[in-house]
Amino acid sequence: MIADARAQLLDLGGVHTFAPLPHDQPDPTANAQTWLHFSQRAQRPTFMMRVKRAKSNIEDLKYSYVVVRRGSRPVAEPVEQQEPVSLEVAQQSPEKYLPNGVARKTPERLSAESHTWPRVLLPPLKRKGHVIVDVCTFQGNVERWTFTKSHDKQAYRDARKANWGDLFPHEPKSAVVRPGFMPLPDKDDAKAKAEQKQSKTYRVTSVLDK
């Protein structure tokens, strides 16, 4: 239903997709065996616990959404590549340069570039020495990206901290196109399911319980 609504709005023209897909092409997950969704942990009220006969007042709710904006998609203007400055200069002007000497981007440019950043479609799989992230790219593909510590420490660190549904600006070490969108039946997915089963449930005290 949401995919159809998005397609109808794009057919009318004068709008662009803002979220969750980072492009205006056909939804690559529309004909998949699973539906594109995200998860949000919420606190159940007491009456809902009684209706569902639940012992925990914490529930992970799955939802799907689409956000479109009027006008054309913002485009970041190309800029000339500047040579990194010395580490001494970078340390003297941390507001202008990154620790490695590369000039920082302005908030306006980052805002424009973010309209083409990939969206994380599934919870990242964190492994020893590498992280696997499933994303939807600006080109309209669903891809599985791998980030290793040896390839790029900053990208690896950010991949470990990435959450389901986030935008992700880094380039991967390797990428595999996944037309079916279903999690691949490999050891990583089996391990992820095992981790989810072993996750601890806890109870948050609610004002309604008092």
Are residues 190 and 152 part of one domain? yes
Are 121 and 40 within one domain? Answer: yes
Residue 57's CB: how many other CB atoms inside 10 A?
A: 19
Residue with tokens 């891809």: 143
Q: Kindly state whether residues 124 and 112 are assigned to the same domain.
A: no
pLDDT of residue 107: 80
For the chain, list the strands marked E by DSSP: 15-19, 38-43, 58-63, 67-70, 119-120, 125-127, 130-136, 142-148, 174-177
Q: Which one has a higher pLDDT value, 190 or 30?
A: 30
Q: Are residues 55 and 107 in the same domain?
A: no
Q: Within a domain: residue 204?
A: no
The model's pLDDT over 188-199, given as tens digits with 9 standing for 90+, comes to: 455 545 544 443
User: Are 42 and 138 within one domain?
Assistant: yes
Each residue of 19-28: pLDDT tens digit?
999 999 888 8
pLDDT > 70? residue 11: yes
Question: What value does the mean pLDDT take over residues 13-17?
Answer: 91
pLDDT tens per residue across span 123-171: 999 988 899 999 999 998 899 999 998 888 888 999 999 999 999 999 8
Residue 102 shares a structural domain with residue 138: no
Domains held by the chain: number: 2
- Would you state the torsion angle of the CA atoms of residues 137, 141, 143, 148, taken in this order, to the nearest 10 degrees? -30
pLDDT at 146: 93
185 lies in a domain?
A: yes
pLDDT above 80: residue 66: yes
What is the residue range of 108's domain?
A: 84-116
pLDDT in tens, 35-57: 788 888 888 888 888 888 888 88
| pLDDT tens, residue by residue, 168-186 | 999 888 888 876 665 444 4
Sign of the torsion angle spanned by Cα atoms 136, 115, 64, 4: negative
**How far apart (Å, rounded) are the C-alpha atoms in residues 62 and 99?**
40
